[in-house]
Amino acid sequence: MKKIEAIIRSSKFDEVKAALHEIDIDFFTYLDTTGVGNEKTKGERMYRGTVLDTEFIPRRLLTIVVRDQNVKKTVDCLLNSAYTGEVGDGRIFVTTVDEAWKIRTKTGGDESLKGDFEK
């Protein structure tokens, strides 16, 4: 099993979520977060009469745990759906998950990642 963490633009979230559902990745968590990146626009910026602080950049952090056979398709999906070609598109990190457990059924390993509808 692998844990995939993706930091993406908040504006791309709906597109990424739809793309993940298309490849049958239906369970993930996400958080609204801020960070400091490589963007060169630091400080304050005026937008429609409102001063915006551009020191910290709003992003969304997705956490997805998948079976090993689903890693490539999940990463490819994220790379394609979160892409704009501009600085600040985000990052993807893949790490190994040693164990996972489904609390309700007390099943572990790959079985814990299956939905109730899967056999």
Within a domain: 96: yes
Within a domain: 44: no
Within a domain: 38: no
Domain that holds residue 103: 2-33+61-113
Question: How far, in Å, CA of 95 to CA of 3, rounded?
Answer: 5
Q: What is the CATH number of the domain that holds 92?
A: 3.30.70.120
> What pLDDT digit, counting tens, does each position of 81-105 carry?
999 998 888 999 999 999 999 999 9
- The pLDDT of residue 100: 93
The pTM for the full model equals: 0.81
How confident is the prediction for the chain on average, in pLDDT?
87
**Pairing assessment for the beta strands 107-108 and 101-102 based on DSSP bridges:** antiparallel
Within a domain: 76: yes
Within a domain: 98: yes
**Pairing assessment for the beta strands 57-66 and 2-9 based on DSSP bridges:** antiparallel
Question: How far, in Å, CA of 47 to CA of 1, rounded?
Answer: 44
- The yes-or-no verdict on residue 57 having pLDDT over 60 is yes
- Residue 118 CB contacts under 8 Å (≥ 6 apart), including other chains: none
- The pLDDT of residue 114: 81
Within a domain: 13: yes
Residue 81: count other Cβ atoms within 10 Å of its Cβ: 20
Q: How many domains is the chain built from?
A: 1
Helix %, strand %, coil % of the chain (to 5): 25, 35, 35
